[in-house]
Structure 1
Amino acid sequence: MQPFHLSATGYNLNYLPEYIALRHGFFREQGLDVTVNIPTPWDGVLDALADGTADMALGGIWVPSMYRDRVQDYTVFAQIANRCPLALLTHGNGEGFKLADVIGKTVLMKSGGGASVGLFFKMLLRENGIDPKSVDYIQDLDGVMLGNLFQGGMGDYFVTDNLSALAMAERNSNVSVAMEMVSQGDIPWSVYYRETATITADVLDAQKQFCIALEKGIDWVLQHDAESFRDELAELFPTVPVEVAVSVTNGFRRDGMWTSTSVSRTGFDRWQVGLAGARLVKEPIAYDDIVDNGPASAAQIEATFLWHTARARL
């Protein structure tokens, strides 16, 4: 069994296929002993890559993008989350909400896990013809702190992860979800990457095996209504009401959160425009300059071959 260590920037429901692959032994079927840690602070994933204690990092593609040609070059080899897993909370009833409603208002945005929340929300505003400067932001505080303050009356809207948003709305009748951003188009929200200079033929082979198992995890989640594995969801997310975890999971299944391990070129290009608009990159980076789709593509070909072989034996 080959050790294959992952350093992740967080623990989130949008990583669910990976957790399923671990729990169901899909990685071990591919000869990989996958282990995971979540450093504090989250940017410790980069230290783990640098000192060789991690074989890959899991997080936002905005990090490899802004580091490229400045600090360190990283190569992305797989994707797990194909949509943004955030939601926008409002005071009172959010029915009939339009994005233009945020103009002139104050939006709270958690930032403890990195810059993705603000990057995406402001990109969404620009895509809809809204000047991000027309909105006031409070975004330099921890998500739990901001959640408590929002419920206490601070600000007009609060952007947080979808799971926390629905859990908060279920507990507190004075707030509601105005928008679930999983419906707002493809974007490579969460990807796997490592330092470009450390990639060898053996590394590429291990990445392919990882992708085969992750593809199986994605397929498993897509083929099973969340209600059928609610007990697993309860174990994975014990602090959230299981009904909320089931609801969010099925929403993600329906709205394209999980598609394949390949990074969508359309989603990638969209996100690069957003990163350039936020000045994290001077100009959008070309797909092939930062993404190597080889391991994911090879995994999909092999998985298809194995599926057809198994069908032929029936």
Structure 2
Amino acid sequence: MEQFNLTATGYNLNYLPEYIAHRHGFFREQGLEVTVNIPIPWDGVLDRLAEGTADMALGGIWVPSMYRDRVQNYTVFAQIANRSPLALLRRGHQEGFKVADMAGSTVLMKSGGGASVGLFFKMLLRENGVDPRSLDYIQDLDGLMLGNLFQGGMGDYFITDNLSARAMAARNSDVSVVLEMVSEGDVPWSVYYRETATITPKILDAQKRFCIALNKGIDWVLQHDAESFRDELAELFPTVPVDVTIGVTNNFRRNGMWTSTSVPRNGFDRWQLGLADARLVKEPLAYEAVVNDGPAAAAKQTVGSTE
């Protein structure tokens, strides 16, 4: 069994197919003993890669994009989350909400796990014809703290992960989810990557086998209504009411959160434009500059040839 160590920026529902692949033995079927480390703070994933204690990192593609040709070059070899897992809450009811009407409001959004929340939301504003500078933001605080402050009266809107948003709305009738961003188009939200200079033929083979197992996890989740694995979801996310987890999981299943391990070019190009608008990159990067689809493509061919 080959050790293949993963360092991840967090523990999230949008990583569900990976958890399923691990629990159901799909990685072991490919000869991989996958271990997971979640450093605090999250950017410790880059330290794990640099010191060689991790074979891959899981997180936002904005990091390899931002670092390229500045600090360190990383190559993305697979994707797990194809959509944004965020949700927008406001006090009161959800009827009549439009993104285009948000100008002049104050938005609370957590940022402890990186820049993705603000990057995606401000890109969404621009796509809806709203200048992000027309809103005020409170985002340099812990997510739990911001959630409590929002429920106590601070700001007009609160952005957090979809699971936390639905859980908040379920226990607090004074707030409602007005937008689940999984419905807002493709974007390579969560990807696997490692330092470009350390990639060898042996690593590429392990990445291919990892993709085979992860694709099997994705397919398993897509083929099973979340209600049918209620107990498993309760074990994976014990702090959230299981009915909420089931609802969000099925919403993700319906709306393209999980597709395949390949990073889609259209979603990549869209995200690069958002990163350029946010000044994280000077100009949108080419797909091949950041992504090597070889392992994911080879995984698909391997599975196809055995069916």
Range of TM-score over shorter length: over 0.9
**1:162-189 Cα deviation digits (max 9, x unpaired):** 0000000001000000100000000000
Q: Report the equivalent of 1:173.
A: 173
Q: TM-score, normalised on structure 2?
A: 1.00
**Structure 1 CA distance for aligned equivalents of residues 103 and 237 of structure 2:** 35
Task: Name the CA distance, whole Å, in 1 between partners of 2:217 and 2:37.
Answer: 19
Q: Which residue does 2:147 correspond to in 1?
A: 147
1:101 Cα deviation from its structure 2 partner: 2.4
Letter in 2 for 1:97: F
The answer on 1:287 being equivalent to 2:266 is no
Amino acid at match of 2:112: G
Distance in 2 (alpha carbons) for counterparts of 1:94 and 1:282: 38
Distance (whole Å) between structure 2 residues aligned to residue 240 and residue 111 of structure 1: 21
Moved over 4 A (4+): none
Q: Which runs of 5+ in 2 are unaligned?
A: none
Residue in structure 2 matched with residue 207 of structure 1 by the alignment: 207
Give the unaligned 5+ runs of structure 1: 309-314
Question: 2:68 matched to which residue of 1?
Answer: 68
What is the match of residue 114 of structure 1? 114
Which letter maps to 2:24?
H
Give, in whole Å, the separation in 1 of the partners of 2:101 and 2:141: 23
Deviations 1:245-282 (A, max 9, x none): 00000000000000000000000000000000000000
Tell me the amino acid that sits aligned with residue 160 of structure 1.
Answer: T
C-alpha separation in 1, matches of 2:289 and 2:126:
26
Q: Structure 2 CA distance, aligned partners of 1:245 and 1:230?
A: 9
Question: Do residues 250 (structure 1) and 239 (structure 2) align?
Answer: no
Code of the residue aligned with 1:153 in structure 2: it is G
Aligned to 2:300: 300
Q: Where do 1:211-230 residues align within 5 Å?
A: 211-230=211-230
Paired residues, what number? 307
Name the residue aligned to 1:94. 94
Counterpart contact for 2:100–2:129, Cα < 8 Å: no
- Give the deviation of 1:303 after TM superposition: 1.2
Counterpart of 2:34? 34
Question: Which deviations, in whole Å up to 9, do the C-alpha atoms of 1:123-174 show, x marking residues without a partner?
Answer: 0001111100011100111101100100101000000000000000001000
Q: Confirm whether residue 182 of structure 1 aligns to residue 182 of structure 2.
A: yes
Q: Secondary structure in 2 aligned to 1:40?
A: coil
1:284 match: secondary structure: coil
Counterparts of 2:229 and 2:52, CA distance in 1:
36
Secondary structure at 1:10 match in 2: coil
Aligned to 1:311: none
C-alpha distance in 1 between matches for 2:101 and 2:230: 36
Report the 3-state secondary structure (helix = DSSP H, G, I; strand = E; otherwise coil) of the residue aligned with 2:94. Answer: coil
Please state whether the residue corresponding to 2:15 is helix, strand or coil.
helix
**SS state of the match for residue 159, structure 1?**
strand
Residue in 1 that maps onto 2:104: 104
The amino acid of 2:253's aligned partner reads R
Letter in 2 for 1:250: N
Q: How big is the shift at 1:22? A: 0.3
> How many angstroms does 1:96 deviate by?
2.0
CA–CA separation in structure 1 for the residues paired with 2:58 and 2:92: 36
The yes-or-no answer on 1:13 pairing with 2:22 is no
The reply on whether 1:233 has 2:233 as its aligned counterpart is yes
**Cα distance in 1 between the residues matched to 2:194 and 2:102:** 38
Letter in 2 for 1:236: L
Aligned-pair Cα RMSD in Å: 0.5
Contact 2:111/2:140 (<8 A) preserved = yes
